């Protein structure tokens, strides 16, 4: 940039073109109104110049009471005390700042552009998270604005050791991406690795953290998420205290937690707010739920089509009696019901809230009952599919649960072809895959495996969540010499 407003303005307008939503306002400031200025901002993000409560309005008002020299001095030294002023040396950077939702000011005779926050882009405020509901604990959820999200973390972790690194991704979207971590707990290499992976691709636009997730994960073919997602600030703050990193993308209410493992996906925030017995019981249920969400329909097919000797005779005869008159093979019957259920789920998600609930009632009760009465499916299959659905809903993380829902179909096919052998084959395949899977170097199956890495300390917070006073050390994610998180005073 130069000191000449005309030149800077020319360059700026050349880049901006004629966008109708961008306000370009020339004004004159100073006590003699002898300094030319050029203000530009995205419509909506800037307030009225005359509005005394607007930051920008107050700035202009004050500058209008200064001499030319005073104006330059106060701009260069920020004597007006505007807390969030940013100076830019190039027009491109300045435009990036403006598109972040701030007001850009170019002043004749001043060789820098200034960005001053004003109203900013409209967005939703802090709301209750849609997923990861808890009975006990905070009801705050992340918002679309990255600044609100980092502030929500800061609100919970009031220490200078909490660091936020900001990068921009997307050549056209210029999306702010924040990397939040606890300086003394996280492995420095990990931060480097995260930054490396974020810069691995050049992408035109980042609309959500999901895009970052997919471009940064190691095994693209794995259905299992290698990042943990959360909409809960308390969950993210806890992860940071464990030595993990949280990545936020602007315009996304979902934070990415990394590294992660199977165990972390099964945990919920209120596991730590409830008594250990209750929390442990919940975890056992969720581990079982994850197993059955994957395998239950497959096991049903393997047992009824191949290994009938497993079931008690009265139960088996009931199954056989229930199947009488059903026109489809059991596999087709299960697949039909599973697909019907997935359709209901999809429809329930896409429809507005009240209608979504209606879909559940219509699908679950009316269609289910009608299908049984019409002898299209047997009642036992409805029970199997409903139980499987319950299990998949009991998994706290949606992305993680989706992996089980998808793989479930694989198990259905394997078990209907190969019976219990197919089940064992599938289990082994999934286990081998999981044992190969890593999230930023951490084995996915920690602490099922490699628990000795932390002297078996991680197993205190595993299927059984031991009493809090016993969980004295941070998990494997934290730096080796920074693992103590709880110690008795005196």
Partner 1 sequence: MFSKNNKISKRQVFRLLSYDILGVGTLLLPPLLGEASGKNGMAALLVGIFAGLVFAVLLGGVIESMREGETYPAFLKRNFGTFFGVVFGIFYIVYYLVLGGVSTYVFGHLIVSELLKEQSFYWITAGILLLACYGISQGIEGRARVYEILFWFLMVPLFLMLFLAARDVRTERLFPLFALGEGNFYTGCLYSFSLFSLCGFMLFIVPFAKEKEKVVSASLLAVLFCGGVMFVIYAILQGIFGLGSMISQEYPAVTLMSMVQIPGGFLERQDAIMVGIWFFTVFALISSSMFYLSENIASLYGGKKRGVSIFIGAVLLFGIAVGCYRSKEFMEKLLWIFLYWGTPVIVAIPLLTYFRDFFGNTKKTTVSLMMVLCMFLGGCSTTELENRKFPLAMGVDLDEESCRVSYKFQDLSSVADENANAGSGTDFYIKDKDFYTAISQYANDSNKEMDYNHMKVLVLSEEFIENEESLEVFLQICEKRALIARNTLLFTAEDAGKILALDKNLDTPVGTYLEEMIESREDYKLKDTVTLGDLINDKANEEQLLYIPVLKEEGGLPVIRGYYAMAGGVPKGEIGINEAMLSYLTQGKIEKLYFSMEDQTPVTVKRISAKRTYQGKNHTCLVKISLEASVEEDFLNEENANDVLSQRIGDEFYTQLKETGESLKDAPKVDFTNSFCRLGLSDKEAYQKYKGDMEGFLRGLGYAYEVKVNLVN
Q: How far is the CB of 424 from partner 1 (least distance, A)?
A: 5
Q: How far is the CB of 475 from partner 1 (least distance, A)?
A: 12
Q: How far is the CB of 437 from partner 1 (least distance, A)?
A: 9
Alpha carbons within 13 angstroms on the beta-carbon side of residue 86 total 16
Q: How far is the CB of 477 from partner 1 (least distance, A)?
A: 9
Report the 3 state secondary structure along 185-245.
CCCHHHHHHHHHHHCCCCCCCCCCHHHHHHHHCCCCCCCCCCCEEECCHHHHHHHHHCCCE
Q: How far is the CB of 382 from partner 1 (least distance, A)?
A: 16
Alpha carbons within 13 angstroms on the beta-carbon side of residue 246 total 32
Q: How far is the CB of 449 from partner 1 (least distance, A)?
A: 4
Nearer to partner 1, 145 or 228 (CB): 228
458 in Cβ contact with 470 (< 8 Å): no
Q: How far is the CB of 158 from partner 1 (least distance, A)?
A: 29
Nearer to partner 1, 87 or 417 (CB): 417
Nearer to partner 1, 256 or 478 (CB): 478
Which has the closest alpha carbon to 260: 211, 194, 199? 194
Nearer to partner 1, 203 or 413 (CB): 413
DSSP assignment letter at 484: B
- Distance (Å, rounded) from C-alpha 254 to C-alpha 210? 8
Which has the closest alpha carbon to 471: 277, 272, 281? 272
Which has the closest alpha carbon to 211: 196, 195, 227? 227
**How many residues in total does the chain contain?**
490
Nearer to partner 1, 27 or 413 (CB): 413
Nearer to partner 1, 122 or 455 (CB): 455
Nearer to partner 1, 94 or 403 (CB): 403
Nearer to partner 1, 203 or 316 (CB): 316
Q: How far is the CB of 297 from partner 1 (least distance, A)?
A: 15
Nearer to partner 1, 362 or 463 (CB): 463
Q: How far is the CB of 419 from partner 1 (least distance, A)?
A: 6
Alpha helix stretches (DSSP H) within 324-378:
330-350, 353-361, 368-373
Q: How far is the CB of 258 from partner 1 (least distance, A)?
A: 11
Report the 3 state secondary structure along 63-104.
HCCCCHHHHHHHHHHCCCCCCCCEEECCHHHHHHHHHCCEEE
Neighbour count for residue 64 (Cβ, 10 Å): 16
**Dihedral through CA 408, CA 410, CA 416, CA 418, nearest 10?**
-120
Please spell the DSSP secondary structure of 413-432, one letter per residue: HHHHHHHHHHHHHHHHHHHH
- Distance (Å, rounded) from C-alpha 383 to C-alpha 250? 43
Q: Which residue ranges make up the site for partner 1 (CB under 8 A)?
A: 187, 189-190, 193, 259, 304-314, 316-324, 326, 329-331, 416-421, 424-425, 428-429, 431-432, 435-436, 438, 440-443, 445, 448-450, 452-453, 476
**The two structure tokens encoding residue 57:** 């309005």
Residue tagged 């992860």 (tokens): 239
Nearer to partner 1, 340 or 463 (CB): 463
Nearer to partner 1, 156 or 479 (CB): 479
Q: How far is the CB of 474 from partner 1 (least distance, A)?
A: 14
- Distance (Å, rounded) from C-alpha 411 to C-alpha 64? 73
């Amino acid at each position: 940039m130069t000191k000449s407003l005309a030149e800077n303005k020319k360059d700026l307008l050349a880049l901006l073109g004629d966008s109708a939503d961008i306000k370009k306002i020339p004004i004159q400031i100073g006590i003699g109104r002898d300094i030319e200025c050029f203000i530009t901002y995205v419509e909506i993000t800037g307030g009225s110049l005359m509005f005394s409560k607007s930051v920008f309005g107050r700035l202009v008002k004050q500058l209008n009471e200064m001499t030319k020299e005073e104006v330059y001095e106060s701009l260069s030294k920020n004597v007006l005390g505007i807390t969030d002023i940013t100076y830019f040396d190039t027009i491109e950077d300045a435009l990036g700042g403006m598109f972040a939702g701030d007001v850009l000011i170019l002043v004749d005779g001043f060789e820098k552009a200034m960005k001053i926050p004003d109203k900013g882009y409209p967005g939703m405020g802090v709301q209750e998270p849609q997923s990861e509901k808890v009975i006990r604990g905070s009801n705050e959820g992340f918002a679309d604005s990255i600044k609100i999200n980092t502030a929500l973390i800061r609100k919970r972790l009031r220490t200078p050791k909490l660091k936020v690194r900001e990068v921009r991704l997307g050549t056209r979207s210029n999306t702010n991406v924040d990397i939040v971590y606890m300086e003394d707990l996280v492995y420095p290499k990990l931060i480097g690795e995260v930054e490396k992976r974020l810069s691995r691709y050049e992408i035109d636009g980042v609309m959500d953290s999901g895009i970052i997730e997919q471009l940064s994960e190691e095994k693209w073919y794995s259905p299992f998420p290698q990042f943990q997602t959360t909409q809960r600030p308390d969950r993210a703050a806890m992860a940071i205290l464990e030595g993990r990193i949280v990545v936020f993308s602007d315009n996304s209410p979902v934070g990415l937690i990394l590294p992660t493992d199977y165990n972390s996906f099964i945990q919920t925030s209120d596991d730590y707010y409830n008594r250990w017995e209750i929390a442990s019981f919940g975890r056992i249920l969720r581990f079982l739920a994850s197993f059955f969400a994957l395998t239950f329909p497959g096991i049903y097919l393997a047992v009824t089509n191949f290994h009938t000797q497993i079931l008690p005779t009265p139960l088996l005869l009931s199954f056989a009696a229930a199947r009488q008159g059903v026109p489809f093979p059991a596999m087709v019957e299960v697949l039909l019901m599973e697909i019907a259920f997935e359709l209901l789920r999809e429809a329930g998600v896409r429809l507005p809230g009240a209608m979504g609930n209606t879909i559940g009632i219509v699908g679950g009760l009316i269609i289910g009952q009608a299908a049984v009465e019409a002898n299209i499916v047997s009642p036992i299959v409805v029970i199997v599919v409903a139980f499987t659905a319950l299990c998949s809903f009991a998994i706290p993380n949606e992305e993680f649960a989706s992996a089980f829902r998808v793989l479930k179909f694989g198990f259905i096919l394997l078990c209907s072809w190969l019976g219990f052998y197919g089940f064992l084959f599938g289990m082994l395949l999934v286990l081998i895959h999981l044992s190969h899977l890593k999230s930023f170097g951490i084995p996915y199956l920690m602490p099922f495996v490699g628990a000795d890495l932390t002297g078996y300390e991680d197993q205190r917070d595993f299927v059984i969540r031991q009493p809090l006073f016993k969980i004295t050390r941070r998990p494997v994610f934290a730096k080796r010499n920074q693992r103590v998180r709880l110690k008795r005073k005196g």
